[in-house]
Structure 1
């Protein structure tokens, strides 16, 4: 199966689940059969407008049915999808479109006060020929701009035979997408992914983590532009007859009502979202019995959050944490159903069965169990490398083919991976290694702290010291002195942050991870 294309696999799913609902958005439902028909219209129109096998096409918009239709249409036409994060702005998006040599862009007209169209008209490179608006378009401000409805109804669409021939041309070794890294450690790099690797990742995700059946309902809260919302979100779901619900923006009360109304069974979230759902006053009067799996991760997970999720979501809900990478096409590790709360909160579980995981030192040599080093992983779904960047590709792999993730961690006596931090987030205090996530995990247990992030700041005497950004719990007043005093009782002196800054909320990136680069700018 993996020698064909993702779109062909989707068609096989449609043949089985044609009349089932594929996507629910608001009060609108679209069946698998109609989703295929809509995507074929997009694919035929793209071909009619000159899109060739292997051409790059971007999508820049929030989660929606039309996002999925556009992505499947790109696959049908043999194109390569370039997802663009919705939190990026014009110049950042323009850099990605330039690096990827994008020809077409599907986009929202606007979101809030931000106009995607205006940003693209100002910053898109000359290679971009068309902007296709995913929603309604009152009037085209530029000859480059058209609506997806006009695209689907284009008189230039190729016929079914030509489209079928293009679909049949696809194979497992073709590129299916290029997802650009978040750029928190420098200019974003384009991660190459093939159809075969993507399908392997989807299949192992389904088999060992989601265990999907066609009765599942997946509320996708992570952005479609990121691996968690795309490949590990809607893409894997549609290969197995699952109904998805695109969540455009987060509101705890609305999400609770959605779970009850639609019978949501699968809900991966970032820890702040999970906490907001647990603490919302409507939770106790909301029927959450449909939830089968609720997972969280991507940053420090307080043990008390896991305990609260298990206690307050009901005995039938499996609580998971995990660890994934864009370069691994999704998940690398996951916890098991019967793991205790401490394991779920403080580790990311075991590696998936088709991946090899080891901890290595700076020389790439595997370290003994229990020692902290860089997490390295090898397996069939790992990226072949970075777009037009042989130097970065070479630097990312060991001589025997293990991907160096840039994450620091150790394996405990049970084989669970305990992440300590990003290698580049580590800082030295008087010669001692400090891993912010390790410090954050301890500080998160202090009464009155709702959330915390630590970064290293320059210090004339010690080289670097820690600065903690603390979000107090509602109604709690904390002082810098008492937080530092508590830390001195709980951790080694060199780990104790030398300064505390209080915030109403920590800055997050689009996948719910704390945006350390913004905190460093504040520091």
Structure 2
């Protein structure tokens, strides 16, 4: 089969597919119209000096320009770095720096988000590769960089060529250091997974449409993901109302909707995270974290995955890629689970300390580093707790001199981080609870979570 069959363009070339292909804010776009916009956008990117291997950061809400930029980048062999619209200056700067983006396409304005003000918090030295901004909806915005207007749809140019195995899209995922890593996917990994999901869920392109309510800037799935407190109670309530929920599993590295439960499963099994892989070519195994050997069915260990939807690697981070991939090509997920023995598996918990906040996986170190950059903070630790049925984070700080004011710390974090990462409480302590281990002194994060809940209960 030719590489062209695995391109993003192949997804809109299905002759029997229903039209319109997309509807944005009530405006209909046929496949022919969208294809024309892709070609126009590819030519526009080329005119901006974007070519094979170059990175374009896309900081837009869900609009036709977002998808046109992705498909157009694929035509040129360029890469799209998806920027979450909830990001603030520290997060945007990290993504731009790590990706090496030359161009960023940005909204002029959207609701209460002041894109220009957020960009004002980033210095040119922080993101040396960024050359210019392209603004959708205006000629320019106040910024340190030259601005051009995104006017791609006003011109028409000849088509470019595809390479289905080059990086084309970067997702952000939780990192163990200050900021998230960038997960690189190709047209082949995206297109083959889309086809696998359609077959597994028996979606018919002549009859079914997708309502994309969640932002394009992340990798999301449709279903019931069991990572928030109270999910079992939610499933029971939904079942009582005649709404069947299905547990599923996915990650940026193997994409959302990697697996899902089946209709014939018993209720308790159907709602568990995990299920059956969408692709018949996917393989799931579990490795005993103590012995390092593959675990038999029913024994918990780290989940490892080999699949056509597996990422290419972490962009500009070969060391992290090497650590995440086994010698025989399986992705080490960092998640704990077990095999059922019937081809399905169960996701149980995250092996590390990453927190699920606002639907996103967040490394505590990202928030801790921002707190430690504040005047009056010597050290910081952040843990996740269940606060009135929602996962929120709580911070503990050790002061450097006079204790810092919580209001000042919170205000700083709101300027630098997305709202869902801002701690619900910040407590000042003299020291963190620690324990000695074979690898040195370790923070007792479980004890910190207990302390957080005790203090919240006392309030």
TM bucket by the smaller chain? 0.7 to 0.9
Question: Which of the numbers 224, 238, 250 marks the counterpart of 1:324?
Answer: 250
Runs of 5+ in structure 2 lacking a partner? 356-384, 397-431, 437-443
Deviation at 1:424, TM superposition (A): 1.1
Residue in structure 1 matched with residue 189 of structure 2 by the alignment: 197
* Compared CA separation, residues 90 and 2, structure 1 to 2 (3 A): farther
Q: Which residue of 2 aligns with 1:369?
A: 297
- State yes or no: 1:345 paired with 2:277: no
Higher helix share: 1
The 2-side partners of 1:117 and 1:426 are apart by 31
Pairing 1:308–2:237 present: yes
Change (3 A) 1:140 1:344: same
For 1:423 and 1:171, locate their aligned partners in 2 and report how far apart those are by CA, in whole Å.
Answer: 36
Q: Deviations over 1:95-119 (max 9, x none)?
A: 2112211111112223343322343
Match of 1:127 among 126, 129, 132: 129
Change in CA separation of 1:44 and 1:87 when aligned onto 2, cut-off 3 Å: same
Does the 8 Å contact 2:273/2:348 carry over to 1? no
Q: 2-side partners of 1:98 and 1:454: how far apart?
A: 26
Q: Take 1:141 and 1:210, find their aligned partners in 2: how far apart are those partners?
A: 48
Residue equivalent to 2:42: 43
Which of the residues 368, 377, 386 maps onto 2:314? Answer: 386
Superposition pairs of residues 216-255 of structure 1, within 5 angstroms: 216-228=208-220
Per the alignment, in what secondary structure is the counterpart of residue 206 of structure 1? helix
Cα gap change, 1:98 to 1:44, in 2 (>3 Å):
same
Partner of 1:291: none
Find the aligned partners of 1:137 and 1:12 in 2 and give their Cα distance: 32
- Residue 6 of structure 1 corresponds to 7
Provide the residue aligned with 2:286 in structure 1.
Answer: 359
Aligned partners of 2:287 and 2:295 also within 8 Å? yes
What residue is the counterpart of 2:64 in the other structure? 65
> Normalized against structure 2, the TM-score is what?
0.72
Give the superposition deviation at 1:20: 0.8
Check conservation: 2:225, 2:249, Cα contact below 8 A.
yes
Matched-pair contact (CA < 8 Å) for 2:335–2:351: yes
SS state at 1:40 partner:
helix
- Work out whether residues 359 and 410 of structure 1, in 8 Å CA contact, stay in contact via their aligned partners in 2: yes
- Aligned partners of 1:87, 1:42: CA distance in 2, in Å? 25
- How many residue pairs get aligned? The number is 380
Q: Quick one: structure 1 residues 357 and 461, their matched pair in 2 at CA, closer, same or farther if it must change by over 3 Å?
A: closer
Q: Distance in 2 between matches of 1:206 and 1:24?
A: 20
Query: How far, CA to CA, are the matches of 2:62 and 2:285 in structure 1?
Result: 35
Encode CA deviations 1:62-86: one digit per residue, 9 max, x unaligned.
2223222222222233321111122
Q: What TM-score results when the alignment is normalised by the length of structure 1?
A: 0.64
**1:111 alignment partner, SS class:** coil
The answer to whether the 8 Å contact 1:377/1:403 transfers is yes
Pair 175,306 (structure 1): closer, same or farther in 2 beyond 3 Å: same
CA distance in 2, matches of 1:99, 1:376: 26
The answer as to whether partners of 1:456 and 1:464 remain within 8 angstroms in 2 is no
- Residues 2, 332 of structure 1: alpha-carbon distance in 2 compared, 3 angstrom cutoff: farther
Cα separation, 2, equivalents of 1:221 and 1:184: 29
Distance 1:330 1:46 in 2: 28
- Aligned to 1:29, the other structure's residue is in SS state strand
